[in-house]
Amino acid sequence: MELNLILGPMKSGKSFEMISHFMPLSYTNINFGIYQPRKNIRDENIWSKSGLSVKAEKIDTLDEILKKNESIVGIDEIHMFEEKEARAIASLLKKGVKVFVSGLDMDYRGKMFPIVQRLFELGPQKVNYKRAVCEICKEPEAIYTQIYQNNIPITSGVPSVIPEDGTYVYRPVCYHCFRQN
Ligand SMILES: [Zn+2]
């Protein structure tokens, strides 16, 4: 069993990382699956900014993966799942499944998502911490995802997971440019 975490802010290349692990598998006989939350209103693929993509199945809960019999599993947008769903990942690992998880580690307030905390407590073998370019100072040190409404950073009052319906703009920012409540 092996747990790999690919974490970081928006635009840090997490999708590219996932695709690089899974795309070669489609040429093998290895039984694998890639999943994303149904809450993700984008299409059925995981796309990287480079234009590469892999197909991902939309699920409501991580328990749905337990019914499959796959030896390698990828889960995208992990932050959209609830904290208690970390149990399903623990069950997959116990079955010997190799699990790749990607998503935001911190919400718009700079707080770590509870499910990500639970995954760290499972003792991941690899943590790939990605950084993005800060859209304020342009240094390649962005670790936060700040959300903006009408160009003003929002520091409280909205849920941790916000659908990308166009109301808000998401920008990767560094520690020094991040605005906190
Ligand atoms: Zn900055």
Which domains are seen in the chain, by residue range?
A: 2-129 (3.40.50.300)
pLDDT per position as a tens digit, 119-169: 999 999 999 999 999 999 999 999 999 999 989 999 999 888 877 777 899
Print the SS3 string covering the chain: CEEEEEECCCCCCHHHHHHHHHHHHHHCCCCEEEEEECCCCCCCEEECCCCCEEECEEECCCHHHHCCCCCEEEECCHHHCCHHHHHHHHHHHHCCCEEEEEECCECCCCCECHHHHHHHHCCCCEEEECCECCCCCCCCCECEEEEEECCEECCCCCCCCCCCCCCCEEEEECCCCCCCC
The pLDDT value recorded for residue 55 is 87
Distance between Cα 71 and ligand 1 center (Å): 40
Sign for the pseudo-dihedral over CA of 81, 69, 100, 119: positive
Find the 100 Cα to ligand 1 centroid distance in Å: 29
The per-residue pLDDT for 54 is: 82
172 CA distance to ligand 1 centroid (A)?
A: 9
Residue 143 alpha carbon to ligand 1 centre in Å: 9
Q: What is the mean pLDDT of residues 177-181?
A: 92
- Residue 175: closest CA among 136, 127, 120: 136
d(CA 166, CA 157): 18
- Average of pLDDT values for 81-101? 97
Q: Among 55, 23, 37, which residue's Cα sits nearest to residue 161?
A: 37
How many angstroms does the Cα of residue 8 sit away from the middle of ligand 1?
15
Active site residues: 77
148 Cα–ligand 1 center, Å = 15
Q: Which amino acid is at 51?
A: G
Distance 154 CA to ligand 1 centre (A): 17
Q: Which residues contact 13 (CB under 8 A, 6 or more apart)?
A: 48, 49, 130, 132
Q: Report pLDDT digits (tens) over 44-63.
A: 777 777 777 788 999 999 99
Reported as a pLDDT band with limits 50, 70 and 90, residue 41 is low
Q: What is the pTM (predicted TM-score) of this model?
A: 0.93
- pLDDT score, position 10: 94
pLDDT at residue 43 tops 70: no
